[in-house]
Structure 1
Amino acid sequence: MEKHKVNIAVVEDNGMARTNLRNHLLEMDFEGVHCFTHGRELRRDLKRRRYDLVLMDFHLGDNKNGVEVIQDLQKEGLLKYSTCLVFITSDRLPMIIGQIVDIHPDDLVIKPYTIKTLGRTIFNALNINRTLRPVLRNMDEGDFEEALHQLDIIEEKELLPKSRTNLTKLRARLLLKLKRFSEASELYKSVLEQSDKVIWAKWGLIHAQYLAGETDISESMLQDMLGAHLTNDKACEWLARIAIGKKQYSRAEEYMEQIKEGALSLAAAKLKAYLYQIQDKMDEAISLLERRREASRHVREKFAELSLELARCYLSLAESRAMNERDKPLQVARFLIGSAGRRFVDDNLELKRHYMNILAAILEGNLERAHELLQKEEMTDLQEADVSTMSDAIRAWLGVGDEKKAAQILFDCEEKLQHIEDLTEKTMSSMMINKSEESLGARRPRALKFNKEGLSLHGAQRFDEAVDYFYQAYILFPKESAFGLNLLQSMVEARIARHKNIRTLRLYNELGARDLSEGNRQRLQDISVKIEQDRDAYVDADAPPADEFGEVR
């Protein structure tokens, strides 16, 4: 290991501990050591620098804890699988250790530690990370199939004979990513056959069965974990998610009530409040969020997020009332939106606040103000936004009458949902997306509406404009070949190689592989003649090297 090439980020809020940790690392001959007091500083730095190792303290004073920081960074794609992660904590509570273990760190150091213990842990973690680099880098690229293949090679060569447990955990994670749930289940079962007390394997088996749709099996296993000090809260949260999936909201609420309020994670508190809301228990939702907000007053990021969750409740309350009865809830919502920004400033949080102010303007009937705010350049960049912000954006664009923009954001929401790791957040995000879909209406009627608009523009030979309407119809209802053919034809007539995530030649080949009617097959053949006449116009220069379009038939 070339220590001078290893970039290390140390996140520790205590100045003395931070200095000591940095000095220890320098004594170990590491040179690239960068220190941060909280997650926001690290987040800003990760946008311009890559780290090989992150040493993360759990408790970070008046800021989000280390687990929450890592979850946020992973959501934003700023922390890669290939980044080595070692946690440091003085807390030995099972609940805290469980939170840390759930995000799959490479190792954990318990304070107080000796320099020898710290060094041994860091060197071991970095060495394992280096050996697993072919696996981890493929995971970074989203190629989980190749990552599993590389893991097979490492195991066959017995390159990490002392790390069997780590390799088993990694294999199971990859199998889940690849949706090979039965294989993952068998792997977890094989671990439990050797010892039924391996808690990570139990949770893994529950997870695998849940993703496979075997919720009855998961539910049975979780019921056995209720009442136990180490597993009750997590089991209740799991059971609540399963109940929500079955739309048994009152039952889900009962499970969430069994978790002490102070033990609720931020995501779990939001989920519980949302459960109240969809059961028309707005007073209970507001009361819960107010208590959680007050309890988090000293933690700036949580205080800001809970202020906005509370503001969202008051906006919903205003929406349910007649126009002349909205003043009071809107006044409270505006106060909360303002208070979120006074103590804490962050790009994503600013976007949340902007969209909530737009919703408030719409509910006041001030559409001119809402339009004005929506025209700002930053309002269209939702790449790093979470689903709750995107849901607000859908309501905002619908509120000013731009159904096409709202539908595109909904599609992006559904794409983002696939990459959310935290299951509680994923459950709540899914509920929000379902509500947005209800607001926009069923998919096929919406697709038909967009297709009709596209046909009108196409008939007027406004091909560039028609493309986006046909695109909306196609992504809403891709099984309808006519929508795909309309999109392809407009892209060819507009001479464009790519529109958003649709590439002309790839779409042609995808449609060609379908079982088309005779009329549609002839239409595709006519389009292929135009493509062949000007093929270079449809080659996407930004397509990755591995992207093979094949030959136009």
Structure 2
Amino acid sequence: MLDYSHKRFLIVDDFSDFRTSLKAMLRELGAKDVDMADRGEDALSLCRHKRYDIILHDYNLGAGKNGQQVLEELLIGKLISHECIFVMVTAESSQAMVLSALEHEPDAYLTKPFNRASLSQRLDKLVERKTALQPILQALDKQDSSAVLAACASLSQQDKRYAPLCLRYQAGALRELGRLDELEKLLTALLADRTVPWACIALGNLLQTRGQLPRAQQVYELALKSFPMFPGLYDGLAAVLSAQGEGKRAQNLLEEAVRLSPLAIRRQMQLGKLALENDDFGIASKAFRSAVEQGRTSCFKNPENYLGLTQALTGQAVDGSLDKRLQLDINQTISELQKTYSNDQAVQVRARLAHASSLVLSGDAAQAKKLTEEAVARLAELESFFSAEAAMAVASQLRELGQAEASDTLLKNCVEIYGDDPAVMQGIALQTSDPAILGSGLQALELNRQGVRSYQQGEHGQALEHFRAALALQPKNISMALNTAQSLLRLGGEQATPALLEECRACLEVVRIMPENDPRFARYQKLRHKAFGDE
């Protein structure tokens, strides 16, 4: 039996008798530092102030966060290190619960009841594994992908038992380092030997990113023949089919994934979006409703789920008329959305437009007009801009509600901010053919492309000039502002002139309009930290 006297334990369970019993077991194993909590929220609070070595967390805690949601939040918030052992404990054994819990990969899954001997045996194996993997896990905590690769190579040579685990860590490190050719070679070689679900998903994602959709589809389809109970494979294949325009097949796959593992809020949200695109408003309503309900205690809570549910309910109007039952459901959804996100002015605008669209179908044109006018007035007061997808949705709603001028203004801003994205431009072109809107960014796009090429070739001074010229033409464009800021910081590092630093900060002030859910937000934060130092 291992020495647990220096390990810090956290027990989370809503039954006091079980907490006391489990603590006694740990004491018998030599544990001295054992904390307890009966709610997921309390567990998170404890983890914010103390680093634990081993967490034994019950899955179902009644009202509030469940074990899966706590684990998600611990990982996203980096409240536990990679060396921490997280054991999911439960008396439940339903397929839906087990698959949902295992998808988030706790270190172990322990079914009640168990005795001290079985607990000791399980913990000993987990500690032994974490100890062997320690150099890799410490490198992961430091976000040092090169060190991860070196540690993987060393451990694979020292102990062949850990070679399969090392391959997975190695694949992640190669992806983080952008060494994609090496990653593809590693995954292809592994899958030629045996079918491994995580490797299939990794290769499928890589191939999709590279535009090799038929090959990615083949990878997922072959994997599903061997692992039909693995929901992540359905997700991957659905994404590939959707990218190929096969939205209905993609929806069917996600419906199967949700049937297997319904307690995954992001999967429910994706199913809702696909169903909306397919005008399957019944499935969309069911999926978004599940996402809303799960989101009440999840860190993945998202206003898009409320808005999606509202759109799906509105889509169920018959012959252009919305019955009272549906309108009541919409009113309740909108009310909860506005209350939950009372400080988010962009959400408040979208909530009013969604409500107005439903009221038009309910025959309340006067109230619909009032809400629309309130939304238009609030648009001018927004401190940050919408995401590209949200901006196009709002523009479409404004046009449908008789606000063509406001719609065109929003689309023009969208071009200025996101016009370097071809997919965004295609979406805008579906709403307008106005050359004053669509043609304003072409020269800036070419200058930005030239800047990227120069930067990649190490011609940083030339790259900066291209980026500056592009940004001058499209002063609200996020990518161009970030590119200019990065080039200025690169030259600032070499020349350290206050003028370059001040120009960089001005570029980053432009980017403040970016919503936090934009995938470039992390890059913006890193550049801002370098430019401002104290933030």
| Interval of TM-score (by shorter of Structure 1 and Structure 2) | 0.5 to 0.7
2-structure distance, mates of 1:396, 1:230: 39
Decide which of 330, 335, 339 is 2:332's aligned counterpart: 335
CA offset digits 1:283-326 (Å, max 9, x no partner): 54235545x58xx9799648x969973543425776999xx989
Partner in structure 2 of residue 456 of structure 1:
none
Classify 1:332/1:229 alpha carbon distance in 2 versus 1 (closer, same or farther; 3 Å): same
- Aligned amino acid, residue 21 of structure 1: L
2-structure distance, mates of 1:204, 1:165: 15
Decide which of 207, 212, 220 is 2:218's aligned counterpart: 220
Instruction: Please give the residue correspondences for 1:96-175 in structure 2 after superposition, counting only pairs within 5 Å.
Output: 98-126=99-127, 128-130=129-131, 132-156=133-157, 158=158, 162-175=161-174
Decide which of 333, 347, 351 is 1:357's aligned counterpart: 351
Instruction: Please give the residue correspondences for 1:216-295 in structure 2 after superposition, counting only pairs within 5 Å.
Output: 216-224=214-222, 230-231=228-229, 235-258=233-256, 261=259, 263-264=261-262, 265-286=264-285, 289=288, 292=290
Instruction: Please give the residue correspondences for 1:90-489 in structure 2 after superposition, counting only pairs within 5 Å.
Output: 90=91, 98-126=99-127, 128-130=129-131, 132-156=133-157, 158=158, 162-181=161-180, 183-184=182-183, 186-188=185-187, 196=194, 206=204, 209-210=207-208, 213-224=211-222, 230-231=228-229, 235-258=233-256, 261=259, 263-264=261-262, 265-286=264-285, 289=288, 292=290, 301=297, 309=305, 311-315=307-311, 332-339=329-336, 354=348, 356-360=350-354, 364-365=368-369, 366=371, 369-370=374-375, 392=390, 484-486=467-469
Instruction: Please give the residue correspondences for 1:505-516 in structure 2 after superposition, counting only pairs within 5 Å.
Output: 506-507=487-488, 509=490
Query: How many percent identity over aligned positions?
Result: 15
- Aligned amino acid, residue 269 of structure 1: Q
Partner in structure 2 of residue 458 of structure 1:
none
Deviation at 1:274?
A: 1.4
CA offset digits 1:56-98 (Å, max 9, x no partner): 3334445565334433443455555454333334556676555
1-structure distance, mates of 2:21, 2:346: 38
Deviation at 1:245?
A: 1.7
Deviation at 1:32?
A: 4.2
Partner in structure 1 of residue 22 of structure 2:
21
- Aligned amino acid, residue 310 of structure 2: Y
1-structure distance, mates of 2:413, 2:66: 36
Structure 1: stretches of 5+ with no match in the other structure: 415-429, 453-469, 491-498, 514-527, 549-553
Classify 1:10/1:501 alpha carbon distance in 2 versus 1 (closer, same or farther; 3 Å): farther
| Residue pair 1:6, 1:52 contacting (<8 A) in 2 also | yes
Classify 1:252/1:507 alpha carbon distance in 2 versus 1 (closer, same or farther; 3 Å): same
Deviation at 1:162?
A: 4.7
| Residue pair 2:90, 2:112 contacting (<8 A) in 1 also | yes
Classify 1:441/1:39 alpha carbon distance in 2 versus 1 (closer, same or farther; 3 Å): farther
Structure 2 SS opposite 1:10: strand
Taking structure 2 as the reference length, what is the TM-score of the superposition? 0.62
Is the deviation greater in 169-178 or in 62-71?
62-71
1-structure distance, mates of 2:229, 2:92: 18
- Aligned amino acid, residue 214 of structure 2: D
- Aligned amino acid, residue 334 of structure 1: N
| Residue pair 2:265, 2:294 contacting (<8 A) in 1 also | no
| Residue pair 1:337, 1:356 contacting (<8 A) in 2 also | no
CA offset digits 1:440-461 (Å, max 9, x no partner): 999x988986999xxxxxxxxx
Classify 1:21/1:337 alpha carbon distance in 2 versus 1 (closer, same or farther; 3 Å): farther
- Aligned amino acid, residue 174 of structure 1: A
Structure 2: stretches of 5+ with no match in the other structure: 358-367, 399-405, 454-462, 474-479, 506-524
Pairs aligned (count)? 467
| Residue pair 1:407, 1:440 contacting (<8 A) in 2 also | no
- Aligned amino acid, residue 272 of structure 1: L
| Residue pair 2:12, 2:58 contacting (<8 A) in 1 also | yes
Structural RMSD (CA): 5.8
CA offset digits 1:304-361 (Å, max 9, x no partner): 969973543425776999xx9899777643311335799xx7x899899756535457
Classify 1:402/1:362 alpha carbon distance in 2 versus 1 (closer, same or farther; 3 Å): farther
Structure 1 SS opposite 2:11: strand
- Aligned amino acid, residue 338 of structure 1: S
| Residue pair 1:4, 1:30 contacting (<8 A) in 2 also | yes
Deviation at 1:244?
A: 0.8
Partner in structure 2 of residue 86 of structure 1:
87
Classify 1:391/1:171 alpha carbon distance in 2 versus 1 (closer, same or farther; 3 Å): same
CA offset digits 1:227-246 (Å, max 9, x no partner): 77843755444322210121
Classify 1:349/1:394 alpha carbon distance in 2 versus 1 (closer, same or farther; 3 Å): farther
2-structure distance, mates of 1:19, 1:222: 46
Structure 2 SS opposite 1:54: strand
Classify 1:402/1:249 alpha carbon distance in 2 versus 1 (closer, same or farther; 3 Å): closer
2-structure distance, mates of 1:372, 1:161: 65
Classify 1:438/1:153 alpha carbon distance in 2 versus 1 (closer, same or farther; 3 Å): farther
CA offset digits 1:118-158 (Å, max 9, x no partner): 234335434543554443344344432332233334445x2
Structure 1 SS opposite 2:86: strand
